[in-house]
Chain A
Amino acid sequence: MKNLFLIAYLDLKESIRAKWFLVYSLVFGGLIALFFIAGVTESQVMGFSGLSRLLLMYIQVTIVILPIFILVTTVRSISGDRDSHILEYMLCFPISLKQYYWGKVIGRFITVYLPVLFAMVVAVAYGFFKGASIPWDIFFLYTGLLFALSSAFLGIAFFISSFVKSSEVALGIAFFIWIILLAFIDIALISLMMQQRMNEELIIFIAMINPMEIFRVAAISLFDPELTVMGPVAFYILDSMSQATFVFVSIVYPLALGLIFAFLGFKIFERKDLV
């Protein structure tokens, strides 16, 4: 266990020093700051104002940028080390592949999740200081959703990283996956598929397996009970199951997806040539 935590700890320290981490933290922290400066908390849209409105905007932007940030920064984790011969040296010590791989996963998860969470905590703390009422239900839901979304894309990124030899190819695959998943959210290709009268079950299936769509529907469902801006598939999904069940699914499914992909990545890492 000590090796697992050592590798997680060293990966975390290494990441925190990296330039990408600075940009990553500034983007999410900057978003919150920008919303406060722009007076989002004073505006009222769809009947929501104050911190609820700010968190809604934060989560909407996060849907788009968090997955690509996680993919781009993580996908080179193992493939980049392989590329630059770091893996060749670091693995010449008696450290098991299991400890090395999962240590990297844990370290990288903390690195990508903490800035996103921290930005929300700062928003809530600042709102509290300004005397705004704190929407704790939304805060805890978003904490869970972001945790699950981060897990899903981290798992996918480690999966890609385990079998790709060059980090350029890994980056290309990461962009491709992000674009595909982004295209298949309710307001994009899914709507087009419905317009073309494609098989409804297929459309719902595609929407339900997409962690970005699940995240989006769960995140906005608290704000938009009428589902006017969410799109037809979201309406259908929330019509067929209770909101509580859907929120549960929207946290458990991406989490499981991330773990499955990370596990598959480990199996490939273990069975393939290491360098």
Chain B
Amino acid sequence: MIKISDLTKKFGSNVSLDKVNIEFNKNESIALMGANGAGKTTLIRSILGYYHPDSGEVLINGLNPVKDRVKVLQNVSFVPQLPPPIKLSLDELMQYIGIGASVDKELIMYYANEMKLDIKANLNKSFFKLSGGMKQKMLIAISLAKNSDIIIYDEPTANLDPKARDDFYRLLKQNENEKVLLFVTHRLEEVKDLVNRQVYMDLGGITSDERL
């Protein structure tokens, strides 16, 4: 599903990814780990097509995420580490995602409800005015409702209380079949029941890749 070949990305003189080669396939749940500055976020952003590589390539189902971003992103869900301060109301955000990405609004509301987030009471509230946990729940609900083949979570449970984490893991378990789940995390114990592969990064390269 995801094939990364000789990927190098530099920012000025800083080499953030150094000839990275790795593949992620269907039915894999991967914990992507490493110290700060190891290149995890750069790798994820390259998969999402945000960065133009200096050399090498990323292919998602055979497509380049920069050149074919619309086709590629139809099959990718992403939840960032920190929810951005989006000023749209929840209703408008769902409208953006509903029309832009053909995601069923009812399904978002279903998953939000499963995550114990009452969307109906907050429909006209700006997203950035929600609490950290509520924002994270909303983004998780959207990612699940999008029903993508590739789901990328960057520290998704950072703002969640233990109960919400349990809900999140339960929903993920129900939705993991035939997908690639990629978790960027510093705490393996949190996702150890979900993942079947651990990848460590350091200084822009893959230092270890273990199947569990």
Contact = CB atoms under 8 A, between A and B. Distances in A.
A90 interface: yes
A267 interface: no
B51 A273 contact: yes
A273 B71 CA distance: 19
B102 to A, nearest CB: 8
Contact of A10 (B45, B73, B76, B88): B88
A92 B84 contact: no
A93 B139 CA distance: 12
B70 interface: yes
Nearest to A3: B100
Interface stretch (B18-26, B89-97, B189-197): B89-97
Nearest to B48: A92
25 contacts: A3-B100, A6-B95, A6-B96, A6-B99, A6-B100, A7-B100, A10-B88, A10-B95, A10-B96, A13-B88, A14-B88, A88-B84, A89-B83, A89-B86, A89-B139, A93-B97, A93-B101, A94-B71, A94-B73, A94-B100, A95-B100, A97-B69, A273-B52, A274-B50, A275-B45
Contacts of B86: 86, 89-90
Interface string A76-91: 0000000011101111
Contact of B85 (A10, A86, A94, A273): A86
A130 interface: no
Task: Choose among A84, A92, A271, A274 the residue with the greatest number of B CB atoms under 10 Å from its CB.
Answer: A92
B87 interface: yes
Interface in A1-38: 2-3, 6-7, 10, 13-14, 17-18
A133 interface: no
Contacts, number: 77
A16 to B, nearest CB: 11
Contacts of A18: 87
Interface string B66-79: 00011111101110
B133 interface: no
Interface residues of A, number: 27
A96 interface: yes
A5 B71 CA distance: 20
A94 B88 contact: no
Interface in A140-195: none
Contact of A85 (B48, B51, B82): B82
Contacts of B82: 85
A6 B96 CA distance: 7
Contacts of A274: 49-51
Contacts of A84: 84-85
Contacts of B69: 94, 96-97
Contacts of A2: 99
A89 B70 contact: no
A89 B48 CA distance: 10
A235 B212 CA distance: 82
Nearest to B71: A94
Nearest to A97: B69
B80 interface: yes
Contact of B100 (A17, A93, A272): A93
B73 A3 contact: no
A100 to B, nearest CB: 9
A265 B82 CA distance: 28
